Structures are given as C-alpha cells and as structure tokens.
Amino acid sequence: MTNTKCGFVATVGRPNAGKSSLLNWLVGEKITMVSHKANATRKRSNVIVMNEDDQIVFIDTPGIHENEKLINQFMLEEALKAIGDCDLILYLAPVTDKVKHYEDFLVKNTKNTKHILLLTKTDFVNDTELFDKIEEYKKFDDKYESLIPVSIKKGTKEKDILDAIVKHLPESPPLYDTEIMTTSHLREIYREFIRESIFDNISDEIPYEADVIIDRVEEKDNVDVIKATIVVEKSTQKGMIIGKGAVAIKRIGYNARKKIERLTQKKVYLELFVSVKKGWTKNKNSLSEMGYNFD
C-alpha cells in the first residue's frame, strides 16, 4: 500500500497577492473571502484539498505588512504564526511586484521553513516580461524549492501545483475528514461573506473599520435564518452602511445572501443590523470581544 502524505501549507504574500483567490480555485469552491482591496483577510483559516489520496491543509493568511494599528498588528502576527507552524510555505509573488517583498519574507521566515515561490498574475504581462522576472528571482534559487508561474489563461492546472506541494509534505494519514473543505465553522464563513460584501459595496476606509458578529443561525427545513450585526467605529459610518432609504445595507445583504446560498445550496433569510463600537480597532479588549485575540 502506498504511504499517503499530509501536511500544513501556509499561503503567504503581501496584501492583495491573490492568496484567497488561489485557494478557492484549488479547492474548486468559494469558501474564503476575496476582495480587490488589500488587507481584506484578517484571520488564519484552513482550506483542505485532497490530491488523490494525499491531503493538503492550506492555511490562508493575512497579507504580510507593517502598520501601527492594533488590528493590523494582529493580522501580521497571524501570518507569522502560520509561517512558523507549517510544513511548507507557498509564497505568492505577483509578477509585477518588486523582489523586495520577497526579500522581506525571507527575513521574516526565521525558521527557514521550506517554501515554493508562486509567480501569480502572469496573465498581465507578456512572455518577455515574465522571463525577465523569473531571471530576477534566480539569484534566490538556493532559498526556494521551486518556482512556478501561474497562468489561468495559459492553462496552469491545479494538479501541477498540488503535485509540487505534496513532494515536500511528510508521510501521514489524513488529519481531517477527506470530505470536508475547511475546518472553519459555517458561522465564520457567513461572517466572512458578509464582510466581503461590505468590501465590495462600501468605499473608502469604512470596510477596514467594520466587522461582523453572527448573532443567530437557525436552520429550518426550507430556509436558514441568519441574523448578524455589522459593527463600525463611528455614527457617520453607520449611516453610510445603511445608506439613504436603506439602499446600501439591502445591497450588502443581497450580495452576501447570494454567496451563502451558493455554498449551502439552500434558501437563506439574512437580516442585518448595524451597531457603533467607538474605536474598536484600536482597543485590545474590543478586538478580543470581536474574536481577535493577541497572545
């Protein structure tokens, strides 16, 4: 009998490098939050992918960045914990980035955990530009296990990436049920989908100072009833989240409900409220109440 492999793989990179999008693509289902705005992911979450009989437990992480805000410090800690606790790192480097982001990662990878360098967003450059960028990274070829350019248009296959990852994982039976795609509770996924909808529909800094509390989930035969509260820092932000004639919050709710229904394959009734908690992103106690616990 062939020995199976299983291990934890941290997906890391600077904000908006495409980590969550990559994981949704690899698992074949939308289960992690994606936004075109940077720093949307705030917490670690596990995404489980089976590659034949081998199990890969991806750890989705916030983007590596420095910021004085407490919430951003928490996010950096989450990324660094994942780097320190995993069997392998998948470092995502958008092809248009300068290599200094990668050099910063090498400094933060204090345990010298093995990593694969994934060149993302290669569809935005021509072949010459891609070749030049690969050449830039070649001076680091003693640091990474392999360098893989990813191009959806040119037919990069999920299995090519998964096969490359499995080579570096330890022999082990699966650590989780082979039928599940994430260790996150549904309530946490609902929360992230509502946050994603806020990012998609509300501009400026408001999404960064907003979060979501799932107050109640009631599963009925024909419909799931979800009640949630959007927490913001200022009264003016509450007005913008609700919008004139409640247009904005209706749009947020509609978009979030559609995402949830696609995942659960069940009708959803989603009711949203808005609450003001002044300065919650700057206060450790408030952050802890929202589920962001510092060590």
pLDDT (tens digit per residue) in 24-66: 888 887 777 666 665 567 777 888 999 999 999 998 887 776 6
pTM listed for this prediction: 0.82
Torsion of CA 80, 85, 89, 91, to 10 degrees: -10
CATH class of 186-289: alpha beta
Q: What are phi and psi of 133, to 5 degrees?
A: -70, -40
| CA separation for the pair 183, 234 (Å, rounded) | 33
Domain with CATH 3.40.50.300 in the chain: 6-166
Average pLDDT on 70-88 reads 82
More confident residue, 253 or 183: 253
Give 96-125 pLDDT, tens digit per residue.
999 999 999 999 898 899 999 999 888 888
Confidence (pLDDT) at 59: 86
Domain with CATH 3.30.300.20 in the chain: 186-289
Q: 290: left (phi > 0), else alpha (psi -120 to 50), else beta?
A: alpha
Confidence of residue 208 (pLDDT cuts 50, 70, 90): confident
Q: What is the CATH number of domain 6-166?
A: 3.40.50.300
